[in-house]
Amino acid sequence: MVTRAKRNNATSLRPVDELETARRILAEADSIVSFSGAGLSAESGIPTFREAQHGYWAKHDPYRLASPDGFAADPKLVVDWYNHRRNILSAAVPNPAHRALGGRSDLIHITQNVDNLLERARASAVLHLHGRIWIDRCNRSCGYEEAVDLAAPPDRRDCPRCGSPMRPAVVWFGESLPDAVWRESTVAAANADVLLVVGTSAVVYPAAGLIDVARQGGAVIVEVNLEAASPGAHISLTGPAGELVPRLLNP
């Protein structure tokens, strides 16, 4: 059981083997929260945002594809782009990092990712800060929403309940995060013994602010990334999530 004193000791840790130290801290922790970004799904073939600056993001103006204005201006372009991403997701499978996280029913999972790979790896109660790409919802928020077939998603269409356009249930530039998800995520981060930060550049707020919330709550921040990205991390493990996360979490 990681006590507050031990947790604080972690801040002065100069571990010989950081992975072993992180493993031990995680094994002793009562409350572990995972906080993930696109790097968690990269090994499943889902392009990350920063990579994709040279990929499909570069082909299109991100603002035109992921904003209410862009959707109002050309709903078909936006729906076609999300359906392209849905097709990529339909062919993807959870990688060993998703499976290691999903196999731990004692963890709370907060993710910036809109994919359902954690759910498909049996994670329960995933908090999606930026929405869920496998769901369509009414743009006028009449409350109508429905899951789509990722392999054959519907073209642009109108809400069957109120006639407004239907759109992917994701958070766009300029939109706020879902209230209840944000509230639940900040409470979980503030009370965590360990925040396991996996595959995020930690540059998009308010989501990235959860790292500070957890640190101020006394959590040990363990980061897994190809490069050190979270300045607030106590332990920063460099390597692919698919290799490191199972080694951290599996007995």
Which residues contact ligand OAD by CB under 6 A? 37-39, 42-43, 48-50, 112, 130, 171, 199-201, 204, 224-227, 229, 240-241
Binding of residue 161 to Zn ion (CB under 5 A): yes
Give, to the nearest 10 degrees, the angle between helix 18-28 and helix 241-249: 50
Does the annotation mark 130 as catalytic? yes
- State how far the Cα of 159 lies from the Cα of 178, in Å rounded to an integer: 20
To ligand OAD, the closest distance from the beta carbon of 156 in angstroms equals 20
Nearer to Zn ion, 128 or 167 (CB): 167
Among ligand OAD, Zn ion, none, the one that 144 touches (CB under a kind-dependent 5 to 8 A) is: Zn ion
Which token pair is 215?
A: 């640190």
Listed ranges 8-16, 142-150, 171-179, 181-189: which one lies at the site for Zn ion (CB under 5 A):
142-150
Residue number with the smallest Cβ distance to ligand OAD: 39
# of chain residues touching Zn ion (CB under 5 A): 7
Among ligand OAD, Zn ion, none, the one that 50 touches (CB under a kind-dependent 5 to 8 A) is: ligand OAD
- State how far the Cα of 22 lies from the Cα of 24, in Å rounded to an integer: 5
**Catalytic member of 98, 109, 128, 130:** 130
Q: 78-114 in b/e burial notation, b at 16+ Cβ within 10 A?
A: bbebbbebbebbeebebbbbbbbbbebeebbbbbbbb
Contact 116, 148 (CB under 8 A): no
What single DSSP character describes residue 51? G
Which token pair is 48?
A: 């990350």
| Contacting residue, 144, 145, 181, 184, with Zn ion by CB under 5 A | 144
Nearer to ligand OAD, 2 or 194 (CB): 194
Contact 193, 9 (CB under 8 A): no
Give yes or no for a cis peptide into 251 (omega within 30° of 0): no
Contact 197, 213 (CB under 8 A): no
Among Zn ion, ligand OAD, none, the one that 42 touches (CB under a kind-dependent 5 to 8 A) is: ligand OAD
44 three-state secondary structure: coil
- State how far the Cα of 119 lies from the Cα of 102, in Å rounded to an integer: 7
To Zn ion, the closest distance from the beta carbon of 169 in angstroms equals 12
Listed ranges 5-13, 106-114, 137-145, 213-221: which one lies at the site for Zn ion (CB under 5 A):
137-145
To ligand OAD, the closest distance from the beta carbon of 177 in angstroms equals 8
Binding stretches for Zn ion (CB under 5 A): 138, 142, 144, 159, 161-162, 164
Active site residues: 130
